[in-house]
Amino acid sequence: MHYTFITFGVFGAVLFLVCSEAAFAKLTNAKCESYNQSWVSIHYCRLKAYSRNKTSLNVNLTLSEPAYNIFLHLKMLKRANGYKPFLFDYNFDACEFMRRRNQPVAKIVWNLIKDVSTVNHTCPYMGLQVLSDFHLIDIPLPLPTGEYLLLMDWFFDGKPQFASNVYFAFKEDFTTSSSRHG
Ligand SMILES: *[C@@H]1O[C@H](CO)[C@@H](O)[C@H](O)[C@H]1NC(C)=O
Ligand SMILES: *[C@@H]1O[C@H](CO)[C@@H](O)[C@H](O)[C@H]1NC(C)=O
Ligand SMILES: *[C@@H]1O[C@H](CO)[C@@H](O)[C@H](O)[C@H]1NC(C)=O
Ligand SMILES: *[C@@H]1O[C@H](CO)[C@@H](O)[C@H](O)[C@H]1NC(C)=O
């Protein structure tokens, strides 16, 4: 495991200081791709637009064989003349995470999706996996306003099997950002 940006301490400290009532987040695009059709079939990976400000993500995929050894490469990018690496880029053992919740950033993502996904159990994973009607209304992270891309590359037995990449826009709450930065 490697961390290219060691920012978790700072993260943790500001996390609970951010009162983000007026902050605003929205999913803007989603792209999934299977690298191994014989193991991972992606049936559906799409945003649904409810209004200009509200979208939801639905993902539906099938694992034809059980996955016992799963690693996730989680990488965030921020748009600035193309997408540039931002904040974190690391790999971790997803099976261990499901047992121990031992990754701070992954835990944030997990807390956002745990109630709307079928992945609330430990390894192995097999069969239909669904993320239903996931709304990104707020992000419990002190992000600057901008457009972001969260790349998620999934490895089974050490080999890349599929990608699930999510684009989102975030608008800072300027009433709290001044106190946070000052
Ligand atoms: C693709 O999936 C099959 C299982 O259906 C597996 O046996 C094979 O090792 C996988 N290939 C790669 C390159 O991961
Ligand atoms: C997932 O997609 C498959 C294939 O399109 C479909 O048959 C199935 O009903 C979907 N399941 C859910 C829970 O959305
Ligand atoms: C949509 O978001 C914009 C930007 O934050 C905000 O000004 C507007 O009031 C929102 N509209 C609705 C219907 O929530
Ligand atoms: C699944 O969800 C229940 C209820 O939220 C929780 O108590 C349990 O610990 C979760 N199990 C796993 C493996 O995440």
Structural domains in the chain, CATH included, are 23-180 (2.70.220.10)
> For the segment 124-175, what is each residue's pLDDT rounded down to a tens digit?
999 999 999 998 877 777 789 999 999 999 999 999 999 999 999 998 876 5
Tokens 């972001």, residue located? 148
Residue 22 binned pLDDT confidence (cut-offs 50, 70, 90) = low
Peptide bond into 124 cis (omega under 30): yes
- Count CB neighbours of 155 within 10 A: 19
CA of 138 to the centre of ligand 1 (A): 37
> For the segment 67-84, what is each residue's pLDDT rounded down to a tens digit?
999 999 999 999 999 999
> For the segment 96-107, what is each residue's pLDDT rounded down to a tens digit?
999 999 999 899
pTM: 0.81
Whether residue 14 has pLDDT greater than 60: no
| Choice from 120, 123, 125 to test ligand 4 binding pocket (greatest atom count within 8 A of CB) | 120
CA of 146 to the centre of ligand 2 (A): 33
Written as six digits, the tokens of 59 are 């993902």
